[in-house]
Amino acid sequence: MSINIPQSSLPRVVIAGGGFGGLKLAQELDSRHFQVILIDHHNYHQFPPLIYQVASSGLEPSSIAFPFRSALRKKTGFVFRLAEVQGVAPERNLLLTSVGEVKYDYLILACGGTTNFFGNDQIARHSLPMKTLYESMNLRNVLLQNIEKALVSDDEERRNALLTVAIVGGGPSGVEIAGALAEMKRYVLPKDYPYLDSSLFRIHLLDASPRLLQAMSERSSETAARGLREMGVEIHTGTMVSDYDGKTLRLSDGSEMKTRTVIWVSGIVANAVEGIQAEALGRGRRILVDEHNEVKGLTNVFAIGDQCLMTADANYPNGHPQLAQVAIQQARLLARNLRARQEGKPLSPFHYKDLGSMATIGRNRAVAEIRGAKWGGFTAWMLWLVVHLRSILSVRNKVIVLLNWIWNYVTYDRSLRLILKRNIPVEPYHQREQRERREHEE
Ligand SMILES: Cc1cc2nc3c(=O)[nH]c(=O)nc-3n(C[C@H](O)[C@H](O)[C@H](O)COP(=O)(O)OP(=O)(O)OC[C@H]3O[C@@H](n4cnc5c(N)ncnc54)[C@H](O)[C@@H]3O)c2cc1C
């Protein structure tokens, strides 16, 4: 089935996935030389670094998302199709999607990754991932609903479980959501729920490794842990989760934690694309590419960003970290390399330039490491704010995010605590009480 793409005499570049890598590539390709087709299963580009603020009611989803059609409106001949990428048939130069097949001259796989539950279906079913806007809204709804349920529960054990949040994964996402929830506990809960003892709201941050923020220095890791502890977060390093059934989180040392909210930010696995041979897949299902991002064993098929694994960069023999800057820099170079290939010129190899890393802990607190220099506290927090504000797409979104931040900072509040999913039980309350008592006894 064709998907009605206009004919063009230009070579066609099909980009699968409009995240940091795919969108940057679409922006960089010159429409005088290529016909650019972007396929994504969302009609918007999202900004993952601020997803935790959507989950914790600090920002609305629309302020960190931007429609592809607006983002690329000025690009002549640009085509966007909303579709699920399903596979590739390289022998016929076809990308297979949920709405039909797309012929390509060059195919770029930029579908990123998804949450890795390490094969544990039960954890996948009951815990809350936080990689997409949809997931962050779901997480926000569950968090707020659990507080509401706790308010009307007279079973102490159930109430405590509803008010206990376990965050699994001590990387930047885990640290940031822990800090945001700790601020919610300190500043928002006492105002919104004056009859709730907010000390019952407990936030646990668990990680299997010996320290938080493994990718940063020990100094930043200690600063983050100290900051979070001061804010009331209970940190459990060297602690592996073995199972979660929706009520009890089981840890590998045999201990248990009763909780109704497990936020899983512990791993990533590349999104799968049918038709890529097993020999071309590496660690974390990432697609193996050479120094030009061309997929192992294929011609004119490239993969960039989180979905690929390049071991040819001398400074990163085990592959690059799965970060926005890697995807963006690969996209920039690939745009130049596609032009070079068109002209029969040699391609340039990719070398990642590390621009630094940072994580925010809370109000006036963050850690940042840029080119060997390390900051903690207010300076790092200001740096974090500026870097993230600059990176958000569109002036409108920048203004909205900035205003929200100012509002939250000045008022110590978060204005967006709407529960947008109706989940009031339809079962009569006396029947529900009996059922819950039965379940509790079982
Ligand atoms: C919560 C969170 C916070 C983060 N914070 C930071 C940070 O602070 N700094 C940093 O550098 N990095 C951060 N990252 C990592 C960073 O977001 C990724 O490294 C980066 O997005 C990778 O870019 P990409 O283009 O490879 O993939 P993505 O940006 O993930 O884009 C993939 C695109 O493909 C689309 N897609 C996926 N599957 C399909 C399919 N089957 N069909 C059609 N479309 C599909 C998606 O909709 C998406 O638009 C964070 C990630 C998360 C999840």
CA of 306 to the centre of ligand 1 (A): 7
Using alpha carbons, list the distances in angstroms from residue 344 to 13, 36, 283, 299, 301: 17, 20, 33, 14, 17
pLDDT (average), residues 144-169: 95
Q: Going by C-beta distance under 8 Å and a sequence separation of 6 or more, which residues neighbour residue 73?
A: none
**Residue 176 annotated to the active site:** yes
Answer for the pair 244, 252: CB distance below 8 angstroms, yes or no. no
- Domains of the chain (ranges, CATH numbers): 12-115+268-342 (3.50.50.60), 118-266 (3.50.50.100)
| CB-CB contact of 12 with 105 (8 Å) | yes
Whole-number Å distance, alpha carbon 133 to ligand 1 midpoint, is 11
Instruction: Give 237-290 pLDDT, tens digit per residue.
Output: 999 999 999 999 999 989 999 999 999 999 999 999 999 999 999 999 999 999
Catalytic residue (one of 60, 176, 183, 369) = 176
288 Cα to the center of ligand 1, angstroms: 18
Which whole-number Å values give the CA distances from 249 to 153, 161, 176, 436, in the listed order?
21, 11, 21, 19
Q: Please tell me the least confidently modeled range out of 1-5, 317-321, 354-358, 411-415.
A: 411-415
Mutate to test the pocket of ligand 1, among 51, 323, 352, 390 (most ligand atoms within 8 A of CB): 323
Give the three-state DSSP class for 175: helix
Q: Which atom of ligand 1 is nearest to the CA of 325?
A: 11
Closest residue by CA, ligand 1 atom 29: 19
Nearest Cα to 435, choosing from 426, 127, 122, 151? 426
Residue 324 Cβ inside 6 Å of ligand 1? The answer reads yes
For ligand 1, what atom is nearest to the CA of residue 111?
34
Measured at the alpha carbon of residue 254, what is the angle toward residues 250 and 234, in degrees to the nearest 5?
65
The two structure tokens encoding residue 23: 């969108």
Residue 39 Cα to ligand 1 middle (Å): 15
Q: How confident is the model at residue 410 (pLDDT cuts 50, 70, 90)?
A: confident
Task: Give strand ranges (E) for 188-232.
Answer: 202-206
pLDDT at residue 425 tops 60: no
pLDDT tens-digit profile of 40-57? 999 999 999 999 999 998
How far is Cα of residue 119 from the mean position of the Cα atoms in its chain?
19
End-to-end Cα, the chain, rounded Å: 54
21 lines ligand 1 (CB under 6 A): yes
Q: Tell me, using a 6 A CB cutoff, whether residue 85 lines ligand 1.
A: yes
Structure confidence at residue 408 (pLDDT) = 86
